[in-house]
Structure 1
Amino acid sequence: MINRGDRTVKTSNFLRILWALSLFPLALFADELEIKEVIFTGGGFEGREEMEDIVRTEEGDDFDARMVKLDKILITNYYRQNGFIEAEVYDSVAISLDRTTVTVKYRIESGRRYYYNEVIFRGNSEISSVQLAEQFEKAATGNPFDESLLNEAVRNVENLYYNSGKPFVVLDARYQYEQDSLVNVILDIEENETVFIGDIRYLGLDKVQEFIVRRELEIKKGEKYNRKAIEKSQRNIYSTNLFRNARIEIEPVKGQNSQVILKIHLQENDPRWIGVRFGVGYEEERSFGNTFDLTLQGGHRNLFGTARSISLHLTPSVTYDLESGTLHNPQNKIQLKYIEPWIGYTRTPGIFQVAYEQQRPLNSGSFDLWNISFDVNHDFENNHSLNGALSVKYVNELDDKGIDSAMAAKYVTDQSEIYSMTVYWKRDNRINIFYPVNSSYTDASITYSHSVGKVESEARQTNNYFTVVASWQRYQPFSPQVLSFKRWKFTLASRIKMGSIFEIGEHKKIPINDRFYAGGASTVRGYQERLLGPALQTDDQGKITKASGGKLLFVSNIEVRMPVVWIVVLETFLDGGYVWAELEDLHPLDVKFTTGLGIAFITPLGPVRFDYGHKLMRARQDPTRGAFHLGIYFAF
């Protein structure tokens, strides 16, 4: 074996100097140079077109020497990930005689292409070769050799041992070549001692009681060491919001190779807290502007050292009325919230809330609202969660005008008391809820309600009904080829949502806050907020001004989101939907469709978007041909 270490270092340094000197004259003209052409030579194989998509240097762009260097690295990595482990990429730059344009050339020497043959395991006894082979599924026989996939598989094997009581396992992967292009992977395994948790120690506790931390642990004294359980325990501890720092480490026990001490180092948060939260709402029907709300909040997150919390929230809202040119205070809300973090000896928090609201809409009767609710929520594996809720609402009208059903649409009008019980399930695979990509969201709920109110004769009327709602959302990335332009990374977002109200017995009035509505920035764009469906009120020309809502809902959306530059995203969409007053009114041809364009700005608080929707099937009662929308977050 020949040692060429010193020579390699000197040659490498010499090449770096040549690279820097070659770029010096280009740097002098960098602000004036435009890329005329990008040329690729050599290295052809069936993935060549896909390789060109990863290059950042494009014709017509300003020349940037750093981007050329980055492209060289990207091309090299691409070839090596496709089995060309000896691939080398050489770049060159030619400046035009008038020093205005530059031609960038990449010469690719791909070399031989290698393929996986087999994986051989040596030294394993605690974990079978079948289990180990499952970690190498991406490195299947016949696939192009990709060292990054191999490294990922080795890490999976390491995790398998770490989660089976083997924190001191040693893995050594070697390659063996056959028939010039086949690679055997030999994984030598030194399993070492199986380790158990001999003791658990809690360091840094002051006001928080020890049992609060102990119940958050996924691993117990006497169990095998398990890294996954330890990491989950750390996340559980942070989720209590009682600690600003939580660190878990293991310490070997002297003279006992199979025993370790689990040390949990903690730093507590101040249990008392106070804060301010800003929120922005939008009222399309009346104000066509922003509704600002300011929440003053504070509380105690660790009552009696038991992790129970209590908080108070005060929220006034202000809106600007375009017609009168004045500020208006449409709502004030005060809310008391108590959280019991564990229900039934499980990590299932229970939230008890009492809220009082003063509703003073611009053009309707004023009323006060009391709302009492109790919710429990449990998170399961694989992004599933289940929620149950009990609630009671009571509305008190303050004048003789009655409550305007459109301005107070989310509350009760003709029936002043509602007692309800809800079960809600969801599966949320979105990693980024602000800008979801390559993910999905599914949810379903069923609610039983008992409502009490008065009818025209002033007699009390009761109603019992079930409300069922389900939705499915998908976010699929795709990269279409448009003419000769570089492939853009688009997202195809789609949604279907359905809901129905089933009454027990004869048809009666459903409280207006429990009815379905459609139209607006988050359902069917092109229609003003809630103005798609049965009309409650029309103007002199027969145009709808208020919606009555209904008992059956259908909404569908498909949208293409196209990132343009920096924080700007363009949208184009096709929305459809309708609301039927009664279940027997269902007719598929009633569904209305709209299409339109939008632009979204990705901010730290989430996307802020401006959309315009155009009605494709305008009805006589529709007041406009389309509508503008301002929204926080994407429509779905």
Structure 2
Amino acid sequence: MKAVSKLVNAVSAAAICSSLAATGGAVMVQLASTNAAHAAVVRSIDVRGNQRVDDETIRGYVGIRPGQNFSASDIDEGVKRLFATGLFSDVRINQSGATLIVQVDELSVVNQVIFQGNKKIKDANLAGAVQLKPRSNFSNATMEADIEAIRAAYSRVGRDDATVTAQTIDLGENRVNVVYTVNEGDRTKIKAINFEGNTAFSDRRLSDVVSTKESNVLSFLTRNDIYDENRLRADEEVLRRFYYNRGYADFQVVSANAQLDEATNEYTITFVVEEGERYRFGDIQVESTIPNLDSESLRSVAKTREGNVYSAKNVEDSIIDITERLAGSGYAFAQVTPRGDRNFENKTISVLYSVDEGPRAYIERIEIRGNGRTRDYVIRREFDLSEGDAFNQVMVQRAKRRLEALDFFNSVNVSTAPGSQPDQVVLVVDVNEKSTGEFSIGAGYTTGGETAGPSVEGSITERNFLGRGQFIRVAAGGGRKSRDYTLSFTEPYFLGYRVSAGFDVFRKSRDYDDYDSTQTGATVRLGLPITESLTGQLAYTYSQEEYDCDEGDVFSACNRTDLSQAIVDGINQSPWVRSSISASLTYNTIDDMKNPHSGIFATGTAEFAGLGGDAEYVKLTARATAYETLSEELDLVGLLSVGGGHIINTGSDNIRIFDMFKANDRIVRGFDYNGFGPVDAGIADPEHLGGTTYLSASAEVQFPMPVLPESFGLRGAVFADIGTLYGNDLAQVTASRDMAWRASAGVGLLWNSPFGPLRVDYAHPLMKEDTDETQEINFGISTRF
């Protein structure tokens, strides 16, 4: 009896308690014997209670063999191993005579996971959030964790008051269905976003900066009024960068909190900030501890200039540019460290870029985590570094910004870990993927032109096709007299190089008053990033245009006398094949493409048609728009835009009327589409025939709409346009052949709507010709760039 008592007492209570905590089950170890000899040796092991796990597997986990001596610690270890399998809710071990009895209760198996009451989140999305899956082992602890996971999912879609209950349905044979019942509740809204401590920028301007918006009647479409703690932290960082890039180097967010009014289910978010003083750049210097390195030559590389408003972005860009120059000169390990010296009296910050020979560290490997869909190579190729290269923190941060710009991830974090050797580091890239597929449908109304009227468009877009980083879009749309179909595909890294390649296949049909046209074709294009702001593109386009004169069989000869002979000649040339190659350059420094406040967007294109086909010409076009904030306090933004185009005939025949430039609202607003320029006035209804040259300029001031909250996305504008369209040597031109300027002034309303940027303008012509056709109100898709 002493031996039995000693053996029983030797069973680790701590081990049993730890097993209970890990499994939620009960553990009972009993050694029923009357003498020590039987406690130490058994002749057989009898397994009971198991249905799915076979006897031998359980005996293997117990680890005790018949005929061999065993101790209480051996039993203790066997119990631990059985619980560690995650297959059992309870384990009991008894000794009866020469037999060791192992009694187990297997965990139930989940047959189905069922969701009830959910409408705002689909079953598939909830199934991805929970841990319990069909054919997995059931446990109450996991089910409770799943309840919290479902509630968190509803919180992310703005339903913080959603409740979730769970129950199991016993199906017999140790199988259960798990049922989660959801009461979705009402949408949790954001009543107000307040700012305290700001004087340099208005609440409205700062509300425009942060991504969290106040709730409005369209929030169910935009979904930007959802409170999320991570989003709030991200907004804090956005505010910091906004102030740092506008001279406020001492800015800080004192606090950012959200208060929920449970009675109305609405949040009030308050940011408390300290702006500090506004600084300009003082003296800019570069010093180096590396022998034989010309520091003065590096100063011209820096983006920071004395006297300019201080900008953290300019400092960051300067570090990158200097580091790249050093790497290209053979200094792969050089480190550039900026040191700022504030002068509180004259409100300047002098910057010294210190260049030192950094520690020689190499990248052992790049480890990527969290990308369940995006392929590893899509992430790796954004790094200018690879395994074995010299480690450079500046290049790492540059890659991080590139990954964020892809818009494939909710968050990107790049950290380092020690490698296998002292001079080795491991780059760890943690990403949190987001949905990259979009289905959109929208409607609009276009004024001006013979195809004016209501229109509708639907599209399916995938920005990360099959996780390969490729872009694909299928779109179809049309109106009363138009039909458009487009298929686009882009590979951003063609043949492994940072060169994009893609194609567009299109078909466009138009039903004009006197004739119809159908254009079918395809474009193959290559894009090359030259600098961070400058990109180039080469494209080849092949298209076929067919015309119907609306007076007989399709594409029959046109003999109408109420049309200009130039138009009749163009129709009778159907079908018309155009084979052209084009080259474009685009310069873009716009701060925010959706809501620009500063920067320049300029593009120029040269198209050569004549690589086969019927068209023979060279067409040159260019347009540049500069934005500048006129008043930060009032959020006034000014823009100046200039543009022009010229077509040169390279063939023996005259340029076809359909290839010439037509008047439109991007030249001068206030006139109908094709409403001014060279005219054939020798017919009953004079026709504008287009021109070979146009010039245009526009000045505009944009401002927030009073009373309406910023979250509506509405802004007003006042503008003035001037332009001309001329140059047409066709014999039919009888009026407005020479250059004649048109001008207009007006007001506009811009709406950054959930369907895309929309705009309505009222423009009154100030300078016009007698043959011009006016269209003072224009409504359609906004085309800023």
Distance in 1 between residues matched to 2:611 and 2:350, nearest whole Å: 71
Q: How does 1:449-464 map to 2 (within 5 A)?
A: 449-450=609-610, 462-464=614-616
List aligned pairs for 1:461-610, cutoff 5 A. Answer: 462-479=614-631, 488=634, 490-510=636-656, 512=658, 514-520=659-665, 522-535=666-679, 540=684, 544=686, 546-565=687-706, 566=710, 568-582=714-728, 590-603=740-753, 607-610=757-760
C-alpha change, 1:528 and 1:130, in structure 2 (3 Å) is: same
> How far has the Cα of 1:400 moved from its partner?
4.3
Q: Distance in 2 between matches of 1:477 and 1:267?
A: 35
1:387 to 524, 537, 543: 537
1:193 paired residue among 359, 367, 386 = 359
Give the conservation status (yes or no) of the 8 Å contact 1:563–1:570: yes
For 1:192-219, what per-residue CA distance to the aligned partner results, in whole angstroms no more than 9, with x for missing partners? 7343223333445677665554433211
> Are 1:316 and 2:452 matched, yes or no?
no
Partner AA of 1:532 in structure 2: F
- 600, 608, 623: which one pairs with 1:440? 600
In 2, distance between residues paired with 1:288 and 1:196? 62
- Pick from 424, 447, 451 the counterpart of residue 259 of structure 1: 424
- Quote how far apart the aligned CAs of 1:558 are: 2.1
**250 and 583 in structure 1: CA distance in 2 versus 1, 3 angstrom threshold:** farther
The one-letter amino acid paired with 1:516 is: F
Residue 628 of structure 1: aligned partner: 777
For 2:502, give the aligned amino acid.
I
Deviation track 1:355-375 (CA, whole Å, cap 9, x = no partner) reads: 344x36263444543212211
Distance 1:531 1:240, change over 3 A: same
Q: Does the CA contact (< 8 Å) of 2:724 and 2:739 recur in 1? A: no
Structure 2 equivalent of residue 284 of structure 1 = 448
For residues 755 and 284 of structure 2, what CA distance do their matches in structure 1 show?
49
Separation in 2 of the partners of 1:451 and 1:151? 45
CA separation in 1, counterparts of 2:282 and 2:487?
Answer: 62
Question: How does 1:166-181 map onto structure 2 within 5 Å?
Answer: none
**What amino acid sits opposite 1:339 in the alignment?**
T
Q: How does 1:78-97 map to 2 (within 5 A)?
A: none
Identify the residue that residue 355 of structure 1 maps to in structure 2: 506
Q: Return the letter of the residue paired with 1:264.
A: V
Take 1:452 and 1:158, find their aligned partners in 2: how far apart are those partners? 46
Indicate if the aligned counterparts of 2:323 and 2:394 stay in contact, CA closer than 8 A: no
Of residues 388, 393, 397, the one that matches 1:227 is 393
Q: What is aligned with 2:767? A: 617
Deviation, structure 1 residue 388:
0.9
Equivalent residue letter for 1:201: E
Q: Report the CA distance between 1:494 and its aligned residue.
A: 1.8
CA 600–469 in structure 1, closer or farther in 2 if over 3 Å, else same: same
Residues 554 and 267 of structure 1: CA distance in aligned 2, closer, same or farther (over 3 Å): same
TM-score of the superposed pair, with normalisation by structure 2: 0.51
**Which range moves more in the overlay, 441-450 or 126-135?**
126-135
Give the greater-gyration-radius structure (CA). Answer: 2
- 2 CA distance for matches of 1:613 and 1:539? 29
Going from structure 1 to structure 2, the CA distance change for 1:279 and 1:250 (only over 3 Å counts) comes to: farther
Query: How much does 1:150 deviate?
Result: 11
Measured in 2, the distance between the counterparts of 1:83 and 1:208 equals: 37
Q: Quick check: 1:593–1:617 contact (8 Å CA) kept in 2?
A: yes
Partners of 1:187 and 1:151 in 2: CA distance: 15
- For structure 1, the 5+ residue unaligned runs are 1-51, 58-76, 85-114, 320-327, 454-461, 480-485
What is the CA-CA distance between 1:473 and the residue it aligns to? 2.2
Report the Cα offset of residue 297 of structure 1. Answer: 5.6
Distance 2:284 2:585 in 1: 44
Q: Deviations over 1:388-438 (max 9, x none)?
A: 1111112345664578999xx9xx854421111111111111122344333
Cα distance between partner residues in 2 of 1:467 and 1:184: 48
Offset of residue 245 of structure 1: 5.9
Q: Which has the higher helix share?
A: 2
Q: Judge conservation of contact 1:278–1:295 (CA < 8 Å) in 2.
A: no
Deviation at 1:448, TM superposition (A): 1.1
Greater alpha carbon shift after TM alignment, 566-575 vs 165-174 = 165-174
Aligned residues: 491
The 1:270/1:528 distance shift into structure 2, 3 A limit, reads: closer
* Matched letter for residue 472 of structure 1: A
Aligned to 2:767, the other structure's residue is in SS state coil
The answer for unaligned runs of 5 or more in structure 2 is 1-197, 204-242, 251-280
Q: Which amino acid aligns with 1:548?
A: L
- C-alpha change, 1:355 and 1:596, in structure 2 (3 Å) is closer
Q: Residues 535, 197 of structure 1: CA spacing in aligned structure 2 closer, same or farther, 3 A cutoff?
A: same
Partner AA of 2:533 in structure 1: N
- State the distance in 1 between where 2:406 and 2:299 align: 38
TM-score by length of 1: 0.61
Q: Distance in 1 between matches of 2:498 and 2:320?
A: 29
> Aligned equivalents of 1:120 and 1:367: distance in 2?
63
Evaluate the alpha carbon distance shift between residue 195 and residue 221 of structure 1 in structure 2; reply closer, same or farther with a 3 A threshold: same
Q: What is the one-letter code of the residue matched to 1:524?
A: V
1:570 Cα deviation after fit: 3.7
What is the alpha-carbon root mean square deviation over aligned residues? 5.5
SS of aligned partner of 1:432: coil
Q: Distance in 2 between matches of 1:123 and 1:471?
A: 46
Task: Report percent identity of matched pairs.
Answer: 15
Structure 2: distance between partners of 1:259 and 1:226 = 12
* Larger displacement relative to structure 2 (207-216 or 566-575): 207-216
Distance 1:233 1:195 in 2: 18
Q: Secondary structure at the match of 1:550?
A: coil
The answer (yes or no) to whether the contact 2:340–2:349 under 8 Å persists in 1 is: no
**Aligned partners of 1:152 and 1:378: how far apart in 2?**
24
**Could you tell me which residue of structure 1 aligns to residue 220 of structure 2?**
none
Q: Would the aligned equivalents of 1:248 and 1:265 in 2 still touch at CA under 8 Å? A: yes
Q: 1:580 to 1:339 in 2, by over 3 A?
A: same
